[in-house]
């Protein structure tokens, strides 16, 4: 049985029931959002487009806040970090289930994202060597060449969409090469990324559920073919390394396909939004954009400040695996806690003058944008490297870059990024 065939199936009747439930849930959260409930507002436009005033309101209420929707919300850097590092919390319930059988997680099954130790530890250990900073550094020159090639394409047009034409294709091409995939349709992969990353918010509709299944079926089939090819003819890529582990019975075939799905989608989704959010932040703060143009070696500072100031992943859920005390409250086993990673990044107790985008900020990497604890983002070194190359390339090759229209935000809450960022520049590129 293939990985896609093994995924959860639902009858038409059950699908209709899910649709009715989603409509009811959406109506309920909208009702509370219209009446000012801050957590409900994080789920809906226009408030989620700029969630930072809401995070400030929640922090002002305390480090652990009970929403009218029933959720417990961790709002400060200290408490979010505590929850993420505490081994008494996990991503599933104490019995290993998803809790809500209609949740997107049942369909997603994106390996590391939806597993607790020991299975999480076993799979992470197999994939980790490919994402060590020293190994990834060997890709720097190739990433720089891809960035230059993409900028060469857009230079003659004068105006372009930074997300569609640069921030998206760059990490897609890099992760495909890292996994040993042939050149693929960047737009098609971007579509899969939007569908599956959007599902982190939950299934939005029965149409979205069908899109998820279609995306997984296409990706699963692609990786099943690649795995067979690498069995017959191993290469120097990540999938070849994982196929060797499969042959040594260190993981199952379904686990390998799901892990490849995660590495592909997570391998570009975070970076697309990191580059987009960072570029918009620079263009909205012309003094900092001027600093980067004058000192391109500040590119790593742009990466870290963007991750703190406007991170691609805004929040994550953890579930207590046993009764415990948190911030003076007693929590029963299986109590969920929503950790607001982006609110932690604007916490004045951890980051003085937190609403200022400042490339001179000390302790820039002291943020939770890549989570913390056992679920710290495996691909963080790759995202940092790609974004650093991207910001350096924009500053050196497109120093006259400017906005050419309103930015459009993606219609999601957990993933925070841009659907489009129209920009303009002089038609002549600065030399590489």
Indicate whether 405 belongs to any domain. yes
* Residues 381, 131 contacting (CB under 8 angstroms): yes
The CA-based diameter of the chain, rounded to the nearest angstrom, is: 63
What pLDDT was estimated at residue 171?
A: 95
What pLDDT was estimated at residue 14?
A: 57
| In the predicted structure, residue 109 carries a pLDDT above the cut 80 | no
Query: Of all helices (H) and strands (E), which one includes residue 153?
Result: helix 140-155
Q: Stretch 125-152: mean pLDDT, rounded? A: 93
The two three-digit tokens of residue 108, written as one number: 């997603």
Q: Residue 133: which residues within 8 A CB-CB, separation 6 or more?
A: 381, 385
Residue 318, φ and ψ in degrees, nearest 5: -130, 150
| In the predicted structure, residue 108 carries a pLDDT above the cut 60 | no
Choice between 413 and 363, residue whose per-residue pLDDT is larger: 413
Q: Please, what is the average pLDDT of the chain?
A: 89
Indicate whether 141 belongs to any domain. yes
User: In angstroms, rounded to a whole number, what is the distance separating the alpha carbons of residues 308 and 345?
Assistant: 5
- How confident is the model over 299-320, as pLDDT tens digits? 999 999 999 999 999 999 999 9
What pLDDT was estimated at residue 47?
A: 94
b/e burial code for range 161-175 (CB count within 10 A of at least 16 → b) = bbbbbbbbbbbbbbb
| Angle, CA of 302, 308 and 311, to the nearest 5° | 95
Q: Stretch 11-30: mean pLDDT, rounded? A: 70
| In the predicted structure, residue 105 carries a pLDDT above the cut 50 | no
Indicate whether 432 belongs to any domain. no
Partner residues linked to 402 by β-bridges: 424
The two three-digit tokens of residue 120, written as one number: 């999480």
Indicate whether 429 belongs to any domain. no
What pLDDT was estimated at residue 430?
A: 61
H helices of 285-365, where?
Answer: 286-294, 299-309, 341-345
User: In angstroms, rounded to a whole number, what is the distance separating the alpha carbons of residues 78 and 65?
Assistant: 14
Choice between 27 and 386, residue whose per-residue pLDDT is larger: 386
- Residue 261: pLDDT band with limits 50, 70, 90: confident
What pLDDT was estimated at residue 408?
A: 97
- Structural domain that includes position 216: 3-424
| In the predicted structure, residue 277 carries a pLDDT above the cut 60 | yes
181 CB burial (10 A radius; 0-12, 13-18, 19+)? buried
* Residues 335, 320 contacting (CB under 8 angstroms): yes
Q: Stretch 150-173: mean pLDDT, rounded? A: 94
3-state helix, strand, coil in the chain (%, to 5): 55, 10, 35
Lowest mean pLDDT among 101-105, 166-170, 282-286, 414-418: 101-105
- How confident is the model over 385-429, as pLDDT tens digits? 999 999 999 999 999 999 999 999 999 999 999 999 999 998 666
User: In angstroms, rounded to a whole number, what is the distance separating the alpha carbons of residues 178 and 76?
Assistant: 36
* Residues 348, 263 contacting (CB under 8 angstroms): no
Q: Taking the CA of residue 28 as centre, how many other CA atoms within 13 Å lie in the half-sphere pointing to its CB?
A: 9
Choice between 239 and 103, residue whose per-residue pLDDT is larger: 239
User: In angstroms, rounded to a whole number, what is the distance separating the alpha carbons of residues 240 and 230?
Assistant: 6
* Residues 231, 247 contacting (CB under 8 angstroms): yes
- How confident is the model over 167-192, as pLDDT tens digits? 999 999 999 899 888 777 777 888 88
Indicate whether 113 belongs to any domain. yes
User: In angstroms, rounded to a whole number, what is the distance separating the alpha carbons of residues 415 and 314?
Assistant: 6
Q: Stretch 97-102: mean pLDDT, rounded? A: 57
What pLDDT was estimated at residue 102?
A: 47
Q: CA distances (Å), 166 to each of 57, 154, 171, 266, 401, in order?
A: 35, 9, 9, 17, 13
CATH number for position 24: 1.10.630.10
What pLDDT was estimated at residue 8?
A: 47
DSSP 8-state assignment for residue 236? S
* Residues 405, 422 contacting (CB under 8 angstroms): yes
What pLDDT was estimated at residue 207?
A: 83
Indicate whether 354 belongs to any domain. yes
- Residue 266: pLDDT band with limits 50, 70, 90: confident
Q: Stretch 246-256: mean pLDDT, rounded? A: 87
What pLDDT was estimated at residue 199?
A: 79
pLDDT above 70 coverage of the chain, percent: 90
Partner residues linked to 320 by β-bridges: 89
- How confident is the model over 34-84, as pLDDT tens digits? 999 999 999 999 999 999 999 999 999 999 999 999 889 999 999 999 999
Q: Stretch 206-213: mean pLDDT, rounded? A: 84
| Total of domains in the chain | 1
Indicate whether 430 belongs to any domain. no
User: In angstroms, rounded to a whole number, what is the distance separating the alpha carbons of residues 123 and 119?
Assistant: 6
| In the predicted structure, residue 127 carries a pLDDT above the cut 90 | no
């Amino acid at each position: 049985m293939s990985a896609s065939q093994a995924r959860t199936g639902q009858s038409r009747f059950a699908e209709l029931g899910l649709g009715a439930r989603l409509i009811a849930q959406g109506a309920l959260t909208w009702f509370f959002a219209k009446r000012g409930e801050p957590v409900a507002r994080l789920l809906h436009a226009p408030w989620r487009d700029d969630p930072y005033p809401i995070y400030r309101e929640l922090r002002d209420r305390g480090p652990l806040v009970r929403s009218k929707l029933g959720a417990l919300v961790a709002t400060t850097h200290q408490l979010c970090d505590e929850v993420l590092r505490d081994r008494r919390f996990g991503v599933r319930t104490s019995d290993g289930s998803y809790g809500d059988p209609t949740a997107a997680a049942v369909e997603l099954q994106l390996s590391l994202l939806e597993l607790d130790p020991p299975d999480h530890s076993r799979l992470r250990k197999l994939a980790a060597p490919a994402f060590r900073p020293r190994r990834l550094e060997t890709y720097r020159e190739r990433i720089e060449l891809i960035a230059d090639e993409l900028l060469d394409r857009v230079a003659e047009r004068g105006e372009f969409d930074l997300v569609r034409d640069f921030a998206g294709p760059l990490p897609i091409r890099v992760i495909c090469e890292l996994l040993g995939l042939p050149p693929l349709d960047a737009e098609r992969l971007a579509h899969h990324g939007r569908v599956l990353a959007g599902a982190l918010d939950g299934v939005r509709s029965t149409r979205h559920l069908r899109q998820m299944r279609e995306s997984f079926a296409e990706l699963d089939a692609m990786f099943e073919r690649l795995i067979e090819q690498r069995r017959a003819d191993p290469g120097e890529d990540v999938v070849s390394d994982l196929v060797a582990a499969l042959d040594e019975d260190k993981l199952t075939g379904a686990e390998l396909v799901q892990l490849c799905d995660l590495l592909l989608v997570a391998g570009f989704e975070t970076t697309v939004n990191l580059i987009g959010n960072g570029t918009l932040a620079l263009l909205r703060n012309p003094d900092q954009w001027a600093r980067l143009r004058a000192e391109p070696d500040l590119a790593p500072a742009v990466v870290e400040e963007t991750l703190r100031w406007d991170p691609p992943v805004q929040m994550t859920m953890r579930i207590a695996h046993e009764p415990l005390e948190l911030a003076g409250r007693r929590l029963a086993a299986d109590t969920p806690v929503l950790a607001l990673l982006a609110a932690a990044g604007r916490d004045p107790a951890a980051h003085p003058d937190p609403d200022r985008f400042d490339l001179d900020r000390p302790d820039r990497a002291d943020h939770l944008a890549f989570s913390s604890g056992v679920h710290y983002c495996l691909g963080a070194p790759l995202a940092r490297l790609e974004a650093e190359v991207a910001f350096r390339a924009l500053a050196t090759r497109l120093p006259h870059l400017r906005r050419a229209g309103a930015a459009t935000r993606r219609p999601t809450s957990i993933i925070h990024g841009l659907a489009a960022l129209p920009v303009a520049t002089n038609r002549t590129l600065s030399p590489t």
